Structure 1
Amino acid sequence: MKRLLSVLGIVAISSSAGSSVMACGNSKDSIAIVLSTTANPYFSTMKSVAEAYEKETSYQFKFYDSQDKSDLETSNIENALTAQPKGVIVNPVNAENSSGGKKVIDANLPLVTVDREFDSKIGEGSFVTDNKVEAGKLFDAVTKYKNLGDQKLKVYIIRGVSGADASNKRYAGFVSDHQDKIELVNATNGESNFQNWERDKAKNDVQTNFTTAVKNADVIFAENDEMAMGALAALKEGDDSMKNWLKTGLVVGFDGNTDAKESISKWTNETSDNLFLTIEQNPSLMIKQAIDSVIKILKDGKELAKKYENYTAVSANLIKPQGINE
């Protein structure tokens, strides 16, 4: 009887061990995806696309929201690393702060950035829109429509986040590269008019500064669509002088959010109280390419790169009213 119990005990232990090994074999390796924010529709789209794309891979994706805070991004990356992911994708809050990214490199894991780069270009690569080039297209379209001749284009600028790669490059493409052709009308230094990519903050900024600065502008350039739509709301909900500004003034954004594109589709010379232009980026394609890149790196098993030279440009489109600049 004792021998029988002993045999049964061995069988039970073996069965238990076998179940444990089976469970371990079925568990998915993970890839950490650290986003600057999910409050912005652009980045929430990126997250939802990645969640759907996860089913097409053999990996589990773990998401972290940095709420547009560099210190939280670093903390998120540290927390992600404790979960022992196979790779890390980061959408940086601030291009100048790569402390979190360096921790990924130190952990000898593949690092890929998406939508924005770290200035230090650490990691395997980056999948981004060429923000500087695309912002230049916005400037060209505005000046062609305005046809000011030798006069300078008067611009009221609403910026994103200080140090953010996208903010720096969009400012360069629309403003810095055309210093001899524009005049910033911001009452204070327009270069530092940061509204954190947020609709409500941009709306309040335009409401507060209309009489001292905005009213003198030919165009409001907001560095993303959320802020552009906030600026537009301030003007449409304002007094007659603000509404009248929209008869000749233009509001321009960047990203290609759904409500921005809908507004542009309604713009005509008679219904000019709508957004005029935006650049439609492709966050869905960006995040998929970043995921594919990490998976390929893991599959190839090559020595990991600590830095890269050139980012991978993801295509973008200029969205404008029908018949404009044809």
Structure 2
Amino acid sequence: MKRNRLKMLSLALTGALVIAGFTGCGSKTEQGAQGGGDKKKIGMVVSTLNNPFFVSMKEGAEKKAKELGYDVVVLDSQNDAAKERSNVEDLLQQGVSALIINPTDSDAVGNSIAVANDKKVPVLTVDRQANKGEVVAHIASDNVAGGKMAADFILEKLGGKANIVELQGIPGASATRDRGQGFHQGVDGKADVKVVASQAADFDRQKGLNVMENIMQATPQFDAVFAHNDEMALGAVKALKGKKALVVGFDGNDDAKKAVESGEMAATVAQQPDLMGSLGIENAIKVIKGEKVEKQIPVDLKLIKK
């Protein structure tokens, strides 16, 4: 009798362990199907942290994540599409439940997004959009409107007559395309307005300085410079060395605001990168929770001038 009792107890324990095992397997499978490991972890891939604009975006995301009780892991792509893909793969390996990407290039980022799509991890883009891949939401300023805002300001300040230099951002980036489009909407076709030079300086301050110096040698007569971001505008200011020309940037970073206050720059079209980062986290959390988000989430712009 005692031996029978022990046998029955042993069978009961074995059955309980088997059931527990199946339950655990079911839980992991369900998580995998939803594309996430740690439901409190969000991945963020930033094009470069060698730019105050994107540092501010990162800080906005980190602050909001902490406030809402989530962890955010931020990786720097160093303006390299291959590094961007490696960062995405790293974050997916860590088991993030959502991915926020600030693309290095709107076309190349499609390869990185495809990796996340295969793992069923939702992707949100910030500032620069993706031309390929499945993205649940894009958070950005209206770059076309901002470019036109800059053009309108320059023409207003110069009485509708101007020779203008345009410093373009990274070729292929949506921000470059959209800011340029808006700028040309404001200046093209006007009788007394001419874009005398338009060259890429890759959103970089040192390149902005170098390109501006080259333009000044080839095209010495101009009245204004529109740079697709503040870093290039600040490089242009250094190259100008007191030459009288209106310089207008785009982003509204702290250095640019100081340059506007001192009179070195005429204006900057200010974005709110910290708010972009914050909205990225808020909407990523909504997606993780299965809530609906808007496909396009706008962030307000404003012109900062003295």
Q: Same fold (TM over 0.5)?
A: yes
Counterpart selection for 2:65 from 54, 57, 64: 54
Structure 2 alignment gaps of length 5 or more = 1-37
Q: 1:261 to 1:30 in 2, by over 3 A?
A: same
Secondary structure of 1:183 counterpart? strand
Distance 1:121 1:179 in 2: 33
Give the equivalent residue in structure 1 for 2:176.
Answer: 167
Q: CA deviation at 1:265?
A: 1.9
The residue identity in structure 2 corresponding to 1:122 is: E
Give the equivalent residue in structure 2 for 1:207.
Answer: 213
Counterpart selection for 1:37 from 48, 58, 66: 48
Secondary structure of 2:218 counterpart? coil
Question: Residue 229 in 1 paired to residue 225 in 2?
Answer: no
Give the equivalent residue in structure 2 for 1:257.
Answer: 253
Give the equivalent residue in structure 2 for 1:8.
Answer: none
Counterpart selection for 1:315 from 277, 282, 300: 300
Secondary structure of 2:170 counterpart? coil
Secondary structure of 2:165 counterpart? strand
The residue identity in structure 1 corresponding to 2:115 is: K
Counterpart selection for 1:284 from 271, 274, 293: 274
Q: CA deviation at 1:177?
A: 5.5
Secondary structure of 1:261 counterpart? helix
Give the equivalent residue in structure 2 for 1:297.
Answer: 287
Structure 1 alignment gaps of length 5 or more = 1-26, 237-242, 268-273, 322-326
Q: 1:140 to 1:121 in 2, by over 3 A?
A: farther
Deviations, residues 18-46 of structure 1 (Å, cap 9, x unaligned): xxxxxxxxx87311100000000000111
The residue identity in structure 2 corresponding to 1:178 is: V
The residue identity in structure 2 corresponding to 1:258 is: D
**Aligned residues: CA RMSD:** 2.0
Give the equivalent residue in structure 1 for 2:164.
Answer: 155
Distance 2:301 2:291 in 1: 32
Instruction: Check the 8 A contact 1:154/1:184 in 2, yes or no.
Output: yes
Q: CA deviation at 1:130?
A: 0.3
Give the equivalent residue in structure 2 for 1:218.
Answer: 223
Q: CA deviation at 1:123?
A: 1.2
Secondary structure of 1:62 counterpart? strand
The residue identity in structure 2 corresponding to 1:225 is: D
The residue identity in structure 2 corresponding to 1:155 is: I
Equivalent residues, number = 267
Q: CA deviation at 1:84?
A: 1.4
Q: CA deviation at 1:316?
A: 1.3
Counterpart selection for 2:145 from 130, 133, 137: 133
Distance 2:233 2:158 in 1: 19
Percent identity of equivalent pairs: 32
Q: 1:121 to 1:75 in 2, by over 3 A?
A: closer
Question: Normalization by structure 2: what TM-score?
Answer: 0.82
Q: CA deviation at 1:121?
A: 6.8
Q: CA deviation at 1:50?
A: 2.2
Q: How does 1:69-88 map to 2 (within 5 A)?
A: 69-88=80-99
Distance 1:171 1:301 in 2: 35
Distance 1:280 1:77 in 2: 29
The residue identity in structure 2 corresponding to 1:57 is: L
Instruction: Check the 8 A contact 1:28/1:58 in 2, yes or no.
Output: no
Q: 1:110 to 1:224 in 2, by over 3 A?
A: same
Deviates more, 1:67-76 or 1:159-168: 67-76
Q: CA deviation at 1:290?
A: 1.0
Deviations, residues 76-99 of structure 1 (Å, cap 9, x unaligned): 111211111101000011112211
Question: Residue 102 in 1 paired to residue 108 in 2?
Answer: no
Deviations, residues 166-187 of structure 1 (Å, cap 9, x unaligned): 111011111255321242212x
Instruction: Check the 8 A contact 1:127/1:313 in 2, yes or no.
Output: yes
Distance 2:63 2:89 in 1: 25
Q: CA deviation at 1:275?
A: 0.2
The residue identity in structure 2 corresponding to 1:132 is: V
Question: Residue 123 in 1 paired to residue 135 in 2?
Answer: yes
Q: CA deviation at 1:51?
A: 2.4
Distance 1:264 1:222 in 2: 14
Secondary structure of 2:99 counterpart? strand
Instruction: Check the 8 A contact 1:31/1:60 in 2, yes or no.
Output: yes
Runs of 4+ in 1 over 4 A off after TM superposition: none
Deviations, residues 128-179 of structure 1 (Å, cap 9, x unaligned): 000000110111111111113xx5x322111110100111101111125532
Q: CA deviation at 1:301?
A: 6.3
